[in-house]
């Protein structure tokens, strides 16, 4: 850690370490709760609090065969899900890369007819009987035909304006897609038109956000009969969706755009878009590395919470911290008498073409390796430095500094994640009620994403931080059950299709 002590670079305590974050956590949880409330009342707030029109969560007893498709980026996934009704399911799926020319096609039809063709191939391959029966009965007026129609949940991870469970217009394309013709159109209708053109027995009944899918998947598979409160993703990005009392979503009553929705459950899942928390408030402490990353990002001032939490950014924060230390001659990091760098006269062990100098040069999986390294002499971290950053023959002291920084950044991310989870638990009011029965008092949270799955101790850091939030404390933290919910865009989307069917 001597490197850190020797340097004048702003790396001392309050800049990168979590203690500072913990001191103001209470304040942040409060701020976040008030952002949530503002978002429920009116559109256009920083935390959007998007109503999803999904008005029930499953309890594990649901049964049936449903379909789901997922267009999220480079791949299109098609799957069918058999829900067994006992919290288990079987899933069949296929995946194809979306050809680049279709991502930038002239018309929506080119892309959506490609998607419909993938659904057709999937049906022929995996549900041949069902497909053939449908073809035979088509046009015969046989009423049995209706029951053979697959309900499909469409996970579509682009910004949309949703006005009903299967009514959503595209606001803009992201992630390399660019088809001007689609903007402002209803994406469920576009897909349904192409499905109908092929005569497939499929009805697009719901447009699904991946976070809502995570919540549904967890609620179906989680033990016990208490429905899940919150689904959260800590992967490339971060976001959460939770069950809100319908009466609190007051903007549903005042907006003119809102279509019909089922009100009987008195609840609706709200997609928080919490990645944008702190866009305008700026209550979160920043480091020089956060600031520089933000300024040089393609969306400065936007997604400020996400920029401190998610996989897309953590590697870059660590890279910037290491680079600053390295460039500050006094730190002495990555200089070694036994340097094996290309330039034998150099006193540094960093190759000149090292990814240390490249923006986005360091993947967040590096943090998991360094933070979790308990190998003798931090061998794994030194190997990762050589492999990922072309820093050869790093010393043990170097590796120790790298581990401290990686852990500070990772732990800060986990503690900030706890702020979001904590704010929703507190706002739900569940902590104030108790049945006296431990199982019924469980507050269930489903999580997904590489960070929470692979970063060492991510959940224990979250728990530690939840205990630090005064309205939760050790007693409240014990009631919160956190479980991995895999495959929100598969089984989660299928469950939303089921709920949409029941509501419809
Ligand atoms: P997505 O969120 O895109 O569906 P993932 O949940 O797999 O997908 O998240 C991908 C992100 O997780 C990337 O930003 C990547 O850098 C990061 N990541 C991948 N492996 C690890 C790991 N072992 N530890 C921490 N982060 C990881």
Regarding the beta carbon of 362 and ligand 1, being less than 6 Å apart is answered no
CA 218/CA 211 separation, integer angstroms: 11
Rounded Cα distance, 24 and 17, in Å: 13
List all residues 6 or more positions away from 327 whose beta carbon is below 8 Å from its beta carbon.
none
Token readout for 483 is 């479980």
- On whether both 148 and 254 belong to a single domain, the answer is no
Q: How many domains does the chain have?
A: 2
Same domain, 326 and 450: yes
The last residue of one of the domains, among 208, 242, 262, is 208
Residues 417 and 290 in one domain: yes
Out of 113, 151, 168, 210, which one is annotated catalytic? Answer: 210
The CA 365 to ligand 1 mean position distance, Å, reads: 7
**Model confidence pLDDT, tens digit, residues 346-395:** 578 888 899 999 999 999 999 999 999 999 999 999 999 999 999 988 99
**443 and 418 within one domain:** yes
Asked whether residue 468 is domain-assigned, the answer is yes
Task: With beta carbons less than 8 A apart as the criterion, state whether 485 and 218 touch.
Answer: yes
Residue 311 CB–ligand 1 contact under 6 Å: yes
Give the predicted TM-score (pTM) of the model: 0.88
Report the separation in Å between the CA atom of 197 and the middle of ligand 1, taken as the mean of its atom positions.
38
User: Does residue 498 form part of some domain?
Assistant: no
28: three-class secondary structure by DSSP: helix
Using the 3D structure, point to which of 208, 239, 266 is the last residue of a domain.
208
Residue 312 CB–ligand 1 contact under 6 Å: yes
Is 253 a known active-site residue?
A: no
**Is residue 492 one of the residues assigned to a domain?**
no
Residue 319 belongs to domain with CATH number:
3.40.367.20
Q: Is 410 in the pocket of ligand 1 (CB under 6 A)?
A: no
Tell me, yes or no, whether 336 and 380 share the same domain. yes
Tell me which residue has its CA closest to atom 11 in ligand 1: 236
Dist. CA 369 → ligand 1 center (Å)? 13
213 within some domain? no
Final residue belonging to a domain, choices 208, 240, 267: 208
Active site residue 6: no
Domain co-membership, 402 together with 474: yes
Residue 129 lies in a domain: yes
CATH number at residue 71: 3.30.420.40
Q: For residues 370 and 435, state if they share a domain.
A: yes
Residues 245 and 388 in one domain: yes
Range of the domain at 197: 55-208
Residues 386 and 264 in one domain: yes
Q: Is ipTM > 0.90 here?
A: yes
**Average of pLDDT values for 481-492?**
91
**495 has a pLDDT exceeding 90:** yes
Higher local confidence (pLDDT), 136 or 84: 84
d(CA 355, CA 113): 41
Residues 114 and 145 in one domain: yes
**pLDDT tens figures, 453-476:** 999 999 999 999 999 888 899 999
Position 114 in a domain: yes
The yes-or-no verdict on residue 307 having pLDDT over 90 is yes
Verify whether residue 157 is a known catalytic residue: yes
Q: For ligand 1, pick from 95, 363, 451, 487 the residue to mutate: most ligand atoms within 8 Å of CB.
A: 451
Is the dihedral angle over the CA atoms 179, 301, 312, 217 positive or is it negative? negative
Q: Is residue 74 part of a domain?
A: yes
Q: Say if ligand 1 is within 6 A of residue 368 CB.
A: yes
Is the residue at 494 inside a domain? Answer: no
């Amino acid at each position: 850690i001597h490197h850190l002590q020797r340097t004048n670079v702003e790396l001392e305590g309050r800049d990168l370490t979590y203690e500072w974050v913990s001191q103001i956590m209470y304040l942040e949880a409060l701020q976040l709760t008030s952002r949530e409330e503002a978002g429920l009342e009116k559109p256009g707030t920083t935390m959007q609090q998007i109503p999803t029109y999904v008005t029930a969560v499953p309890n594990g007893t649901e049964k049936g065969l449903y379909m789901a498709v997922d267009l999220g980026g480079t791949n299109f996934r098609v799957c069918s899900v058999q829900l067994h009704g006992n919290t288990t399911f079987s899933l069949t799926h296929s995946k194809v890369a979306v050809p680049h020319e279709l991502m930038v096609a002239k018309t929506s039809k080119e892309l959506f007819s490609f998607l419909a063709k993938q659904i057709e191939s999937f049906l022929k391959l995996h549900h041949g009987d069902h497909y053939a029966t449908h073809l035979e009965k088509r046009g015969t007026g046989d009423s049995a035909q209706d029951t053979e129609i697959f309900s499909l949940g469409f996970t579509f991870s682009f910004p949309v304006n949703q006005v009903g469970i299967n009514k959503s217009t595209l606001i803009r394309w992201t992630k390399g897609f660019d088809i001007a013709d689609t903007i402002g159109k209803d994406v469920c209708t576009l897909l349904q038109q192409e499905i109908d053109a092929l005569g497939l027995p499929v009805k697009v009944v719901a447009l699904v956000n991946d976070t809502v899918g995570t919540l549904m998947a967890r609620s179906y598979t989680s033990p016990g009969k208490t429905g899940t409160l919150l689904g959260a993703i800590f992967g490339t990005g971060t976001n959460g969706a939770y069950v809100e009392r319908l009466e609190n979503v007051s903007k549903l009553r005042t907006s003119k755009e809102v279509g019909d929705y089922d009100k009987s459950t008195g609840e609706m899942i709200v997609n928080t878009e919490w990645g944008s928390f702190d866009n305008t408030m700026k209550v979160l402490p920043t480091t020089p590395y956060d600031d520089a990353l933000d300024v040089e990002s393609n969306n400065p001032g936007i997604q400020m919470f996400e920029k401190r939490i998610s996989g897309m950014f953590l590697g870059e924060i660590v890279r910037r911290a290491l680079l600053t230390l390295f460039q500050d001659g006094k730190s002495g990091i990555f200089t070694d008498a036994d340097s094996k760098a290309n330039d034998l006269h150099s006193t540094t062990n960093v190759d000149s073409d090292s990814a240390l100098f490249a923006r986005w040069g360091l993947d967040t999986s590096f943090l998991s390796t360094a933070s979790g390294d308990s190998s003798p002499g931090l061998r794994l971290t030194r190997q990762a430095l050589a492999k990922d950053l072309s820093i050869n023959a790093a010393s043990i002291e170097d590796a120790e500094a790298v581990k401290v920084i990686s852990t500070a950044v990772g732990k800060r991310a986990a503690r900030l994640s706890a702020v979001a989870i904590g704010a929703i638990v507190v706002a739900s009011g569940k902590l104030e009620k108790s049945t006296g029965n431990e199982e019924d008092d469980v507050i269930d949270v489903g999580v997904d994403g590489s960070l929470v799955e692979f970063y060492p101790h991510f959940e224990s850091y979250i728990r530690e931080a939840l205990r630090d939030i005064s309205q939760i404390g050790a007693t409240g933290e014990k009631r919160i059950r956190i479980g991995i919910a895999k495959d929100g865009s598969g089984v989660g989307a299928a469950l939303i299709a089921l709920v949409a069917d029941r509501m419809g």
